[in-house]
Amino acid sequence: MAQTRLSHETEATAHLTVRVPDGAPGDLMAGAATVIARIDDLDAVDVERITGITPSLNAIEVDVEVTVTLLSDQPDDSTVRADLEDGFGVEAVHEVAIENQAVPA
């Protein structure tokens, strides 16, 4: 029996602030991508650029512009924003814009 995914793929761009732990492997872009990739329902993440860096005691807050692909039953700006806001290490979601939506066959 073929399995059908019920979720929509939603590609969106977002401007986020994430906490990258001190000592995380790779550079800050890789660290930010790792933090964001842990979000449930996230299928892919591409960190486009870093727009700000704020060091703190045990982590570095990094402002990033990203393109993400999420699996969502109701893909709209508020759903994508809520999914991103629920991510551990995501301090703030500044902007979200849905780019495209694809419904699996």
pLDDT in tens, 46-101: 999 999 999 988 899 999 999 999 877 667 888 889 889 999 999 999 999 987 66
Q: For the chain, how many helices (H) and strands (E)?
A: 2, 4
39 closest CA partner among 79, 97, 8, 98 = 79
* pTM (2 d.p.): 0.82
pLDDT digits over 5-50, tens only?
556 788 999 999 999 998 877 899 999 999 999 998 888 999 999 9
Sign of CA dihedral 8, 12, 16, 20: positive
